[in-house]
């Protein structure tokens, strides 16, 4: 049939070398979530948790805060439906981060 193309459906994406060190990503989910951090004391690194329905403890996450008001050192899923964000405040005064809508990208493997 002219113009027909065969499409191969991928059930997962493999990252890394073939074999034991390869990681198969089976799902990527993008969440848009209202996050309201509490105040972070001066010269402090502090983890805070937020409910994000659908996250699993096996997910690896990337976060994009809605506003730039404080440093984010990392994020992980600490329990089902729970995002833990590690905030950094290197200043001499407490920072009260603004509430905003964050984008959370979860990779499931």
Given a contact cutoff of 8 angstroms between Cβ atoms, the answer to whether 96 and 41 are in contact is no
Spatial CA neighbour of 31 closest among 11, 56, 67, 68? 56
Spatial CA neighbour of 90 closest among 76, 67, 70, 105? 70
Report if residue 1 sits inside a domain: no
Q: Which domain holds residue 103?
A: 30-108
Q: How many residues does the chain have?
A: 109
Number of structural domains in the chain: 1
Alpha helices in the chain (DSSP H): none
Query: For 14-60, how does the pLDDT look when each residue is reduced to its tens digit (9 = 90+)?
Result: 776 766 677 788 899 999 999 999 999 999 999 999 999 999 999 99
Query: For 71-87, how does the pLDDT look when each residue is reduced to its tens digit (9 = 90+)?
Result: 999 999 999 999 999 99
Report if residue 16 sits inside a domain: no
Report if residue 99 sits inside a domain: yes
Query: Has residue 103 got a pLDDT over 70?
Result: yes
Residues β-bridged to residue 28: 107
The pLDDT, as a whole number, for residue 1 is: 46
Q: What 8-state DSSP symbol labels residue 97? A: P
List CB contacts of 48: < 8 A, sequence separation 6 or more: 37, 38, 84, 85, 87
Report if residue 9 sits inside a domain: no
**68: confidence class by pLDDT, cuts 50, 70, 90:** confident
Q: Which pTM does this prediction carry?
A: 0.82
Report if residue 19 sits inside a domain: no
Give me the mean pLDDT over the 61-67 stretch: 94
The pLDDT, as a whole number, for residue 81 is: 98
Report if residue 24 sits inside a domain: no
């Amino acid at each position: 049939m002219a113009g027909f193309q065969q499409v191969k459906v991928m059930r997962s994406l493999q990252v890394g070398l073939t074999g034991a060190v390869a990681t198969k990503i089976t799902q990527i989910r993008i969440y848009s979530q209202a996050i309201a951090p509490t105040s972070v004391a001066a010269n402090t690194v502090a983890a805070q948790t937020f409910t994000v329905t659908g996250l699993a403890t096996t997910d690896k996450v990337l976060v994009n805060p809605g506003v730039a008001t404080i440093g984010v050192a990392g994020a992980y899923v600490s329990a089902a439906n729970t995002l833990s964000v590690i905030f950094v405040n290197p200043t001499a005064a407490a920072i009260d981060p603004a509430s905003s809508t964050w984008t959370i990208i979860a990779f499931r493997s």
